[in-house]
Chains A and B, each alone.
Chain A
Amino acid sequence: EAQVTQNPRYLITVTGKKLTVTCSQNMNHEYMSWYRQDPGLGLRQIYYSMNVEVTDKGDVPEGYKVSRKEKRNFPLILESPSPNQTSLYFCASSSLDRDYEQYFGPGTRLTVT
């Protein structure tokens, strides 16, 4: 089954403790992206990648890092999480020839205390 998977689905952590949220897709997609969803703010793009080793900032990149070493994986790294990064995070991917059709993962709910 074609899908985007995220792990973990739920995470509660403390301020300053480094964490990684993984994202993997099995559709051989070139494009991948990370979003955060907050009530009243909709979705905001954090980072995106147009291919292996090619990443760029979205609207809200501060406090986040990404890497794209393999085509299928696009992990989101929070080096020193803070409470304002408490949010629902989504990963998405799309193919080169249909880059306008994003497939979203199920989401990761992160709480930073």
Chain B
Amino acid sequence: AQSVTQLDSQVPVFEEAPVELRCNYSSSVSVYLFWYVQYPNQGLQLLLKYLSGSTLVKGINGFEAEFNKSQTSFHLRKPSVHISDTAEYFCAVRKASGTYKYIFGTGTRLKVLA
């Protein structure tokens, strides 16, 4: 079975500072990895995904993530955050084939401070 751990429930950061949101996963088979963003009172939106190939994945809104198989991590980064990045971020995992079963992390609330 797969599992996902988001180590930080809340991350405060000042505007224009860099940020890293951490995600670790566990799986004995190949997986797809995802980051989703949820703005207040909205549904989820896909930020980026890792399916295969290059371990550095770029997404929307200037975010990127790096897949590290040896450390079973998929941390999300942004070099300079804006107030508008304030949202909740979810890491998710799914087996690479044969299923549509998703496992989400518990979420990290990013609060960007002026």
Contacts and interface: CB of A to CB of B under 8 A. Distances in A.
Whether chain B is bound by chain A comes out as yes
Interface in B23-79: 32, 34, 42-46, 49, 51
A74 interface: no
B43 A100 contact: no
Contact of A42 (B42, B51, B105): B105
A19 B49 CA distance: 35
Contact of B94 (A41, A42, A100): A100
B103 A101 contact: no
A90 B43 contact: yes
Nearest to B33: A100
Contacts of A105: 43
A8 to B, nearest CB: 15
A59 B103 contact: yes
User: How many A residues touch the partner, as a band?
Assistant: 20 to 34
Given A100-B34, A100-B51, A106-B42, A50 B100 contact: yes
Interface string A38-75: 00111111001010000010110000000000000000
A92 B105 CA distance: 17
A106 B92 CA distance: 19
- Counting from the closest, the 8 A-B pairs by CB-CB distance are A104-B43, A43-B104, A42-B106, A104-B44, A42-B104, A48-B100, A42-B107, A106-B43
Interface of A: 4, 31, 33, 35, 40-45, 48, 50, 56, 58-59, 90, 92, 99-102, 104-107
23 contacts: A33-B100, A42-B6, A43-B90, A43-B92, A43-B102, A44-B104, A45-B102, A45-B103, A50-B100, A56-B100, A58-B102, A59-B101, A59-B103, A90-B44, A92-B44, A100-B32, A100-B49, A100-B94, A101-B46, A101-B49, A104-B44, A105-B43, A106-B43
